[in-house]
Amino acid sequence: MLSLSSSIPVVGTHEHPSEGIFKSQLPSKRHGSSLPPPAGEEDGKSDETVYSPILHCMLAGGIGGAIGDSAMHSLDTVKTRQQGAPTVQKYKNMIGAYRTIFVEEGLPKGLYGGYSGAMLGSFPSAAIFFATYEFTKRKMIGEWEINETFSHLTAGFLGDFVSSFVYVPSEVLKTRLQLQGRFNNPHFHSGYNYKNLSDAIKTIIRQEGWATLFFGYKATLSRDLPFSGLQFAFYEKFRQIAYSVEQKTLDQDLSLTNEIFTGAAAGGLAGIITTPLDVVKTRIQTQLPDIPENASQKQLKRQKTLTNSISRGLVTVFKTEGVAGLFSGVGPRFIWTSVQSSIMLLLYQIALKTLDSKMSTDDCLE
């Protein structure tokens, strides 16, 4: 891990110790993360808190988010097929589904179907999220001295809400293209058949209206707000524990193993907890706009329920498919959120330190 010296002026200080990320309480070092002083440190020790500029947080977050999403997109496609087509036998098993999609549809249009839609919102939404998260957390902990865990949860919620205006349309496009797979797909009939991303956007707006790009907005927020809040609350706490276990001070870096583990554990745990909400979100965003004429009463009820109510959607899935239905795709979702979170947060830390180092070097040369 990088360890960087800095002469960057202090952006903000407070005397309330925090286990937040993005700042260091030691004026001689700038780190992507900081924690309360380990047990045994002298109480009342006055240390300045040095913050990374918000712009650096935005750039580092965007880079980490885009690369993390790219690395795990194929597994996200498997999860989408499992949740969007729960009765298709060949997608029941995660490894089998992965192999089937690759063999039948290939990598670009199969496992990486919808990638262009994902990237449309990945960098900007991650950049907006990290900027909002950091700004909110600094205010709540540094200035208002609010409980740290509550601050992390709140900052995560708010960061996701602000960035949702960018990533929800991207999520709708990504999910539909993932479920569709290849154009004129002979191996799976999803009900969608877009030639590419631009065709999907034009077709959706022409046939269903621009509001469809925000279809499932409430369901997406119901999944992502708690996920982001839990993910970063877990991440902050796990890093605090890791610093304690390694018996390191704030001017030192965590081992690479713990950097990866803390991000993976936070993302994976939050991913498991929010899987039922993810199932309902996927069903809402991928259900067809027109109900077949020969649809049964059960199908009619299910479509109406999932369209209008998240809570009723959860009840409907539970009644028709049981607990297994609510947690369909939990395997790939757990792996996806774990690995994506570890990659994103590790790259975030490295990118943030690199940006801070460049700024520090430029200041020294002036």
Considering the domain boundaries, does residue 39 fall inside one?
no
- Domain count for the chain: 1
Residues of the chain falling short of pLDDT 50? 1-48, 299-305, 365
Considering the domain boundaries, does residue 38 fall inside one?
no
User: Tens of pLDDT along 14-47?
Assistant: 333 333 444 433 333 333 443 333 334 444 444 4
CB-facing half-sphere around the CA of 217: CA atoms within 13 A: 13
Considering the domain boundaries, does residue 44 fall inside one?
no
What is the bridge-based pairing of β-strands 4-5 and 29-30?
antiparallel
Cβ atoms of 157 and 231 within 8 Å: the answer is no
> Of all helices (H) and strands (E), which one includes residue 51?
strand 50-51
Considering the domain boundaries, does residue 302 fall inside one?
yes
Considering the domain boundaries, does residue 46 fall inside one?
no
Neighbours of 202 (CB within 10 A): 12
Considering the domain boundaries, does residue 331 fall inside one?
yes
Considering the domain boundaries, does residue 35 fall inside one?
no
CA angle 20, 1, 364 (to 5 degrees): 80
Neighbours of 343 (CB within 10 A): 22
Cβ atoms of 159 and 129 within 8 Å: the answer is yes
Neighbours of 214 (CB within 10 A): 15
What is the bridge-based pairing of β-strands 23-24 and 50-51?
antiparallel
CATH number for the domain including 126? Answer: 1.50.40.10
User: Tens of pLDDT along 40-80?
Assistant: 444 444 444 567 888 999 999 999 889 988 988 998 899 88
Range of the domain at 105: 54-286+298-360
Considering the domain boundaries, does residue 291 fall inside one?
no
Q: Which residue has the tokens 């709540």?
A: 140
Q: What are phi and psi of 148, to 5 degrees?
A: -65, -45
Strand partners, 33: 21
pLDDT score for 94: 85
